[in-house]
Chains A and B, each alone.
Chain A
Amino acid sequence: DIQMTQSPSSMSASLGDRVTITCQASQDIGNNLIWFQQKPGKSPRPMIYYATNLANGVPSRFSGSRSGSDYSLTISSLESEDMADYHCLQYKQYPLTFGSGTKLEIK
């Protein structure tokens, strides 16, 4: 099975900060990775497809990148509405596997 190691598990940042969350894949997944945002009591919302492609309606301050087996979600300038949990998902092969999640709080 492919393990997705997500870090950090939680973080606190100030409004306007640049924030980066990372998932490391234990095997090659190509660009077959999705980033989700999940606000309290809500269903997950896809933010980034195929590692780097912004989903429809997602603000341009969000971006995705890849360096080898490391995949990153970056928020260029943090806004209050970005407070949420973030999850990565690899869909290269079954079983599909999620990262353990990152809780992003606003200072």
Chain B
Amino acid sequence: EVQLVESGGGLVQPGSPLKLSCAASGFTFSSNWLNWIRQAPGKGLEWVASINPDGSSTYYPDTVKGRFVVSKDNAKNTGYLQMNNLRSEDTAMYYCARRLSFDYWGQGVMVTVSS
């Protein structure tokens, strides 16, 4: 069974860093793209980052470029989203999802940026 489980969320102050993890199981993680998507409370979905199977290529929207870094450790079947210089507008539920078809999603992890 394909599973993605996010962890690492919480309450942080503006300007702080935070690293999210996405633990994968039930499929060959090393052969798959990984994506991060977020959803602010009561709002729509926003794509945050994508990384190719071997981790050699990464993609971001301008809203997070230069602050967020996506990576994956294929030996540990885990993806990561390092978030730096967090802002109040980064407050959201963060999801990881598999493949460019977004066929499986994790349950999400909440990140709250507030002083």
Asked whether, in the complex, the Cβ of B102 is within 8 Å of the Cβ of A95, the reply is: no
A64 to B108, CA, bound (A): 27
Chain A residues, Cβ within 8 Å of B44: 87, 98-101
Chain B residues, Cβ within 8 Å of A38: 45
Q: Does B59 have its Cβ within 8 Å of any Cβ on chain A?
A: yes
Chain B residues, Cβ within 8 Å of A49: 101
Interface string of A64-107 (1 = CB under 8 A from B): 00000000000000000000000101010011111111000000
Q: Give the dominant DSSP class at B's interface.
A: loop
Asked whether, in the complex, the Cβ of A94 is within 8 Å of the Cβ of B45, the reply is: no
Name which residue of chain A comes closest to B108, CB basis: A43
Asked whether, in the complex, the Cβ of B45 is within 8 Å of the Cβ of A98, the reply is: yes
Q: Does B66 have its Cβ within 8 Å of any Cβ on chain A?
A: no
- Contact size range, B: 20 to 34
In the complex, number of A-B residue pairs with CB atoms less than 8 Å apart? 48
Contact residues, B14-48 vs A (CB, 8 A): 35, 37, 44-47
Residue from B44, B46, B105 with most neighbouring chain A CB atoms (10 Å):
B44
Residue from B45, B102, B106 with most neighbouring chain A CB atoms (10 Å):
B45
Cβ distance A42 to chain B, nearest Cβ, rounded Å: 8
Asked whether, in the complex, the Cβ of B107 is within 8 Å of the Cβ of A43, the reply is: yes
Chain B residues, Cβ within 8 Å of A87: 44-45
Asked whether, in the complex, the Cβ of B45 is within 8 Å of the Cβ of A44, the reply is: yes
Known A43-B106, A43-B107, A43-B108; contact A95-B47, beta-carbon cutoff 8 A:
yes
Asked whether, in the complex, the Cβ of A96 is within 8 Å of the Cβ of B50, the reply is: yes
Cβ distance B47 to chain A, nearest Cβ, rounded Å: 4
Cβ distance A104 to chain B, nearest Cβ, rounded Å: 14
A: which residues have CB within 8 A of B? 34, 36, 38, 43-46, 49, 55, 87, 89, 91, 94-101
